Amino acid sequence: MGHDRSDSQAPSGLGKGTGLKSPLWGIAASMVFVAALVAALIHFDAHEQVLRLLGWFDAQGAWAPLLFILLMAAVVVLLVPGILFTTGAGFVFGVVEGSLYVVTGTTLGAALAFLIARHLFGPRAREFVMARARLRLVSAELTPHGCC
């Protein structure tokens, strides 16, 4: 008289073969992709161009922070890996100031990316969401709470 649970009684999402490991595979694949992209950039001497650009920033004097912030915003909007710029900012401006410029630039870039997505791709994204039942359900749940 044991309380043996069959798969039909198991909570949803915990059964065998539900793809529970798929987020981990996605994260691992993303990490491998970014590492390969950075390795390719280094292999093709893109880091030399970045170092040259950072040297140029260093020579710009008072305009350097503003120009660097705009560059970081463009890096975010264009989905360019910013690891070399982020690291280089510490060398060009110092750790504290470089960190401040990186955070300011990436925040500006994120805001610009949001505005571009919202105003240029908004109707297309709405059609995409409404054509899919699960996404439509998420949208319906978030809309009354002022999210979207």
Question: Could you tell me the pLDDT band of residue 105, with boundaries at 50, 70 and 90?
Answer: very high
Question: Could you tell me the pLDDT band of residue 2, with boundaries at 50, 70 and 90?
Answer: very low
Residue 144: both structure tokens together: 């009354």
Other beta carbons less than 10 A from residue 19's beta carbon: 8
What does the DSSP assignment read for 24-77?
HHHHHHHHHHHHHHHHHHHHTTHHHHHHHHHHHHHTTGGGHHHHHHHHHHHHHH
- Would you say residue 97 has pLDDT above 90? yes
- Would you say residue 148 has pLDDT above 70? no
Q: Are 101 and 93 in contact (CB under 8 A)?
A: yes
> At which residue do the structure tokens 């999210």 appear?
147
* Long-range CB pairs of 44-48, under 8 A, 24+ apart, other chains included: 46/84, 47/84
* Mean pLDDT of the region 27-34: 86
Instruction: Give tens-digit pLDDT for 35-70.
Output: 887 788 788 887 788 778 888 888 888 999 999 999
Question: Taking the CA atoms of the chain, what radius of gyration do you get in angstroms?
Answer: 23
